[in-house]
Every structure is written in C-alpha cells, then in structure tokens.
Amino acid sequence: MGKIENRTLNERAYDEIKRSLIAGHFRPSDVLVTRTLAEYYGISTTPVREALQRLVGERQLVLLPNRSVAVPAWDVEKYLELARIRRELEGLAAELAAANITDKKIRALEKVLLDIEKSISAKDISAYVNLNQQFHFAIYESANSPRLLQMIQDVWGQVGPYFLELFSDPVYESVANTEHVLILESLRARDGAGVRKHIVADIASAAEVLEPRIQELASKDDRVLIGSLRL
C-alpha cells in the first residue's frame, strides 16, 4: 500500500482507514494514534484526525473518555447481530451476482480460491483474511447494486477486526475454503439460490468458530496502544 496522494486527502485518509478495518488490519480495542497513522500515510495529522472523527460518527470507531479513538471492544452480542445482518445482505448480493457475473470474473475467483488454499496450507492467517475479503467483495460487486454494496462495506468495517481470530480453533482450517468452492460452483451454474445458500453457510461457519473466542477475549479485554501498524 503506497502513501496517500495529495488529491482529496480527507477522503483518501477515510477510505484507507476504513479499508484497513474491513480487512482486519486492526483488532478490537486497538487505540488508533493519529500521528502514527499520519506518519504511515505520509500526510499531516489533520486529514487523519478528521477521518477518525467521521468513522466515530459512523460508529465504526469509538471515542474513549480520554478522547482517544479506538476500535470497539470485543462484544459477542454485537458480533452475532452483525453476522445475522451479513447473512441477509450478503445472501441477497450473492444471489443478484449470480445473474450478472462474467466468465472473466469467475476465472479471477478461481485463482483467488487457489491462493486461499495456499494461505491455509501455509497457515498465513493475514493472507487468508485479505483473500477472503477479496473473494467475497468480487462477488458482491457483481450484484450491480451500489447501495447494497455500501451497506455490506459498513458492516464489514465492524466485523473485520474479528477475522484474525478465525483460526483460533484448529478445526476451522479444514473448512475455511469449503463453502467458497461451493459458492463458485453455484456461480458457474448461475444458480442464485445456491450462491445465497453457500454464502450464508460460510458466514455461519465463521460465526460458530468466533462466538466462543470472542467471549473469551471479551472477558480479558485490555486496550492496546498501536505503536506499529499491521498494515
């Protein structure tokens, strides 16, 4: 990821930070330091500060009593609610995508699936999380429904920080790509109902793993000051 260019710095700062939330580069309870982010992006602190304030306003981030800005803490009830919302929104987007997706996009998804399999074999959790996001959003973009896509992005901005814990249960490794394969088969057949079914199953599989892990982490939550970014 390169440094933010001078054009529309406020928007670019916002987009980059939100993209990092979606991709799971930040974890729950991480405190985001304006100066650290500004140094990383190579810009002044003002656009970063304004982007953080905007994300607080959207409830993607929270303002702490000491005026620091942080990723919301571990919260299992919140996560499960968001998982239910994801099943509805992403199921719809996937079903719409089945009718619109191109053969070129399907070939690109085939490559992503191979890369996902490699990341699982290498136990590269960060790569898996990034590729998983790439796979899902390539499908949702094919729904040709920009407002629906925006809603999904907003929800992912809240659940993304949880995703690095997916492999906390070794069992998940064996099923991490299972529904993806079935999703792709349904897309090839232009089977909207099938794509929806397997997207929903994929989300449910992750929630089954994450629920007990989030409960565990919430019970011993401490806020972490970011000194170096996982970007």
35-71: pLDDT as tens digits: 999 898 788 899 999 999 999 999 999 999 999 999 9
- 210 and 105 inside one domain: yes
The mean predicted confidence, pLDDT, of the chain is 92
CA distance 56 to 33: 14
- 180 and 99 inside one domain: yes
224-225: strand order across its sheet: 62-63, 69-70, 30-32, 224-225
- 179 and 67 inside one domain: no
Q: Domain containing 115 — which CATH number?
A: 1.20.120.530
4: in domain: no
- Which domain does 54 fall in, by range? 9-73+221-225
- 27 and 111 inside one domain: no
CA 193 to chain CA mean position, Å? 24
Among candidates 148, 158, 138, which has minimal Cα distance to 92?
A: 148
Total structural domains within the chain: 2
Contacts of 104 (CB under 8 A, 6+ apart): none
Bridge partners, residue 70, by sequence: 31, 62
Query: Could you tell me the pTM of the whole model?
Result: 0.88
In this prediction, residue 228 carries a pLDDT of: 38
2: in domain: no
3: in domain: no
Q: Domain containing 20 — which CATH number?
A: 1.10.10.10
- 150 and 210 inside one domain: yes
In this prediction, residue 6 carries a pLDDT of: 45
Cβ(52)–Cβ(20) below 8 Å? no
